[in-house]
């Protein structure tokens, strides 16, 4: 039986951080043996919030390097840039005729973005980005979408697009299923609930041990624990959340030491920095390999783009035939 197919992607906005690894990449690497994966560098999606394209190519290369260094195998899972497969825009246009503006305005994910980014007049393309996402998935006949609870509305729109197209023109698309995945989140160095590059509270996959150490030194911990001897509250401390993820074997001892005051924050941070750097070491090694062989990275993208274009064109041939546009 043919493997089910997954389309997963990220917007190329710069070097990736540990939050990306824990929240997505780790899962992608696991899924690549079980599913047929396509990995999309969603460069068109960047335009929804940033019209400046000066860094988009370099950011796409950095993202490809981070993916490869984290264990994505391009032989199994093609990596490609969305902008290099023009069929995305063609299917997006067709789908955008099958959905109303009011349906998109009701999408809770779009509503959250409008609120969080304080957008007064949303761009037409931003409002319609879930339709572009539907085109991204269905172009490759993606039948499984791994998502967290907050992204279920996007899969609903992809399912709706498949249904509407099939009803109007004849069957082309299976409705993709949701693979509800518990995506882990890492706290930010500033104590924020989420690690995010734009908030400046992240540890990059490319950070050398000295940088990890200096970032952790400045990290916010329990503000009530001023010096060694003061009892602390590990449950509100980002450093403890990293210990739980990267130093699992010592968490009981660290928690007890923090609560009793026997463990000081400086020692705790240095222990944590060393564990994070050990975790990053193989990723950094592979990153260095690819950074010194950019032609190899570009070749991975070229090959991925060829595979993606061939798959996308085969879907669009069916679409055009059903629509009598062939
Ligand atoms: S001892 Fe460790 S866990 Fe406790 S507050 Fe300090 S850094 Fe956080």
Residue 21 pLDDT > 70: yes
Residues 179 and 251 in one domain: no
Per-residue model confidence (pLDDT) at position 183:
60
Residues 125 and 222 in one domain: no
* Helix and strand totals (H; E) in the chain: 15, 5
Per-residue model confidence (pLDDT) at position 193:
86
Q: Which of 24-38, 106-120, 164-178, 273-287 has the lowest mean pLDDT?
A: 106-120
Distance (angstroms) between ligand 1 centre and the Cα of 275 equals 15
The answer to whether residue 37 is domain-embedded is yes
Q: What's the number of CA atoms in the CB half-sphere (13 Å) around residue 294? A: 7
The domain tally of the chain equals 2
CB 187 within 8 A of CB 238: yes
Per-residue model confidence (pLDDT) at position 148:
74
Residues 233 and 312 in one domain: no
Residues 90 and 124 in one domain: yes
Q: What number of other Cβ atoms are within 10 A of residue 155's Cβ?
A: 23
Q: Which atom in ligand 1 lies closest to the alpha carbon of residue 264?
A: 1
Residue 182 pLDDT > 70: no
The answer to whether residue 262 is domain-embedded is yes
For the segment 197-206, the average pLDDT, to the nearest whole number, is 92
Q: Which atom in ligand 1 lies closest to the alpha carbon of residue 234?
A: 3
For the segment 119-124, the average pLDDT, to the nearest whole number, is 90
Rounded distance between C-alpha atoms, residue 145 and residue 31, angstroms = 11
For the segment 193-220, the average pLDDT, to the nearest whole number, is 94
Residues 24 and 173 in one domain: yes
Pairing of β 36-41 and β 5-10:
parallel
Residue 227 pLDDT > 80: yes
The answer to whether residue 234 is domain-embedded is yes
Residues 284 and 298 in one domain: no
Residues 173 and 252 in one domain: no
133-160 pLDDT tens trace: 999 999 999 999 888 777 888 899 999 9
Ligand 1, pocket-test mutation among 263, 264, 272, 275, most atoms within 8 A of CB? 263
The answer to whether residue 196 is domain-embedded is no
Residues 74 and 221 in one domain: no
The CATH number given to whatever domain includes residue 271 is: 1.10.240.10
Distance (angstroms) between ligand 1 centre and the Cα of 137 equals 43
Mean pLDDT of the chain: 94
Domain ranges, residue 229: 207-288
Ligand 1 site: residues with CB under 6 angstroms?
221-222, 225, 232, 234, 237, 239-240, 258, 263, 265, 268-269
């Amino acid at each position: 039986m043919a493997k089910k197919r997954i389309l997963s992607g990220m917007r190329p906005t710069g070097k990736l951080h540990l939050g990306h690894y824990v929240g997505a990449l780790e899962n992608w690497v696991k899924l690549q043996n079980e599913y047929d994966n396509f990995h999309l560098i969603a460069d068109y999606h960047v335009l929804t919030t940033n019209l400046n394209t000066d860094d988009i190519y370099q950011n796409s290369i950095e993202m490809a390097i981070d993916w490869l260094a984290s264990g994505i195998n391009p032989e199994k899972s093609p990596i490609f840039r969305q902008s290099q497969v023009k069929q995305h825009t063609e299917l997006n246009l067709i789908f955008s005729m099958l959905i109303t503006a009011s349906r998109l305005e009701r999408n809770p994910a779009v509503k959250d973005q409008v609120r969080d980014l304080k957008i007064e007049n949303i761009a037409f393309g931003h409002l319609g980005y879930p339709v572009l996402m539907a085109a991204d998935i269905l172009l490759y006949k993606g039948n499984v979408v791994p998502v967290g609870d907050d992204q279920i509305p996007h899969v609903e729109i992809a399912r709706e697009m498949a249904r509407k197209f099939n009803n109007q023109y004849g069957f082309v698309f299976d409705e993709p299923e949701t693979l509800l995945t518990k995506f882990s989140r890492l706290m930010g160095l500033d104590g924020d609930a989420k690690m995010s590059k734009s908030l400046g509270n992240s540890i990059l996959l490319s950070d050398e041990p000295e940088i990890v150490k200096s970032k952790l030194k400045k990290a916010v911990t329990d503000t009530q624990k001023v010096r060694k001897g003061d009892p602390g509250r590990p449950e509100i401390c980002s450093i403890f959340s990293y210990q739980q993820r990267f130093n699992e074997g010592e968490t009981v001892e660290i928690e007890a030491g923090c609560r009793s005051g026997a463990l000081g924050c400086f020692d705790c941070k240095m222990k944590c920095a060393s564990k994070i750097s050990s975790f990053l070491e193989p990723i950094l090694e592979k990153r260095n390999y690819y950074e010194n062989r950019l032609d190899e990275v570009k070749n991975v993208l070229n090959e991925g783009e060829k595979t993606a274009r061939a798959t996308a064109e085969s879907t669009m041939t069916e679409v055009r035939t059903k629509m009598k546009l062939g």
